[in-house]
Amino acid sequence: MTPKDPLVIGGKTITNRFFLGTGKFGDKKVMRTAIEKSGVEVVTVALRRVDQQQTPENLLDFVPENTILMINTSGARNARQAVTIARIARESLGINWVKIEVIDDSKYLLPDNQETIKCTEILAGEGFTVMPYIHPDLYVARELQKAGAASVMPLGSLIGSGEGLQARKFIEILIREIDLPVVVDAGIGVPSQAAEAMEMGADAVLANTAVSIARDPVQMARAFSLAVQAGRLAHRARSREIRGQASPSSPLTGFLFEESP
């Protein structure tokens, strides 16, 4: 988006509302090009994928400068493990942004909302910019806001499913009721689904699999970035509500050559 419509999270101004995950990129050079060509400003990285020995293939060396890095706590099964991952990331890498991801469900990979609340309260109290990934639930989102979360990141559908906004109604409730940025995460499979999320009022969209496994990840990243921008513009333009009847785009009277009564 243009600087006239910035998103502010954790005191940082973000103009591109498309966030990109890096977990499934097989080629780091392609990942870097995708970030650069799409204008992505926020990138999530799993700590376990970061080479802290600084070898030539260190993932962080392929992330462009001035990109906001957000460590995700992928692999954490409870709040204690997620807190440990976040602390290691800050101490070893100086990264203060953290996407809380607490999953103890190997079949559906659904986030543990209650452990996420515990983790958020601890890390927000330690000065982290905390962006918790959740199953969309109004009561949970309210607790996260009280705990000091910088945003909430509700899943659109199951991770990696590409099914889009299966949880649309519940996400809409969060958008209406929570005074925090809502970043739709997980299950977004194509750019049109990202645009749909933005049209309904989401503040940003995060995708990973849909871009990284595409035939051309660079072009797909650009497509997502443009779709998010288009969706945001449409939301701000306030499209009229869907109607169950026809409505002419031109008057039905005064046709050319029509004789006057």
DSSP 33: H
99, 120 Cβ separation under 8 angstroms: no
Q: Is 99 a catalytic residue?
A: yes
Written in H, E and C, the secondary structure of 129-196 is: EEEEEECCCHHHHHHHHHHCCCCEEEECCCCCCCCCCCCHHHHHHHHHHCCCCEEEECCCCCHHHHHH
The arrangement of strands across the sheet holding 42-46 comes to 153-154, 129-134, 97-100, 68-72, 42-46, 18-21, 204-207, 183-185
Task: Determine which one of 99, 107, 118, 169 is catalytic.
Answer: 99
User: Which residues 6+ apart lie within 8 Å of 126 measured at CB?
Assistant: 87
120, 148 Cβ separation under 8 angstroms: yes
Q: How far is CA 22 from CA 207, 210, 215, in A?
A: 9, 11, 16
Tokens representing residue 144 in the block:
């996260």
CA gap 132, 119 in Å, rounded: 9
Catalytic annotation, residues: 99
